[in-house]
């Protein structure tokens, strides 16, 4: 698809780091904490991200607590696409 990927959040170029608002995690639950720790560090540097989103089936309370303590909003065990459809397509159904 032509999208660039990086090994870690620290490897993302600074000019891109400054624009990241949501960290959307597609990893096993036990692998989330290091990602959240990197997100917290980015927040200290750039004032962003605002949200850590763990996809459907991903729950890590320790990582969530770390993110919340740093002022990040945490969403766990939810699919971003499904939530978007529920929120925005639901409005069309009620018309």
User: What pLDDT digit, counting tens, does each position of 15-44 carry?
Assistant: 999 999 999 999 999 999 999 999 999 999
What's residue 89's pLDDT?
Answer: 86
What's residue 92's pLDDT?
Answer: 52
CB atoms within 10 A of CB 55: 17
What's residue 10's pLDDT?
Answer: 95
What's residue 91's pLDDT?
Answer: 55
Map out the domains of the chain as residue ranges.
9-93
What's residue 20's pLDDT?
Answer: 96
pTM to 2 decimals?
A: 0.86
Cis peptide before 50 (omega within 30 of 0): no
Spatial CA neighbour of 54 closest among 84, 25, 20, 83: 25
CATH code at 9-93: 3.40.50.720
Q: Is the pLDDT of residue 93 over 70?
A: no
């Amino acid at each position: 698809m032509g999208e660039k990927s990086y090994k870690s959040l620290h490897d993302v170029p600074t000019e891109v780091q400054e624009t990241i608002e949501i960290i959307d995690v597609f990893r096993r639950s036990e692998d989330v904490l290091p990602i959240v720790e990197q997100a917290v560090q980015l927040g200290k540097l750039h004032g962003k991200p605002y949200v850590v989103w763990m996809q459907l089936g991903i729950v890590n309370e320790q990582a969530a607590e770390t993110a919340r303590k740093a002022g990040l909003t945490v969403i766990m065990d939810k699919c971003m696409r499904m939530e978007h459809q529920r929120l925005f397509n639901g409005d069309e159904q009620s018309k």
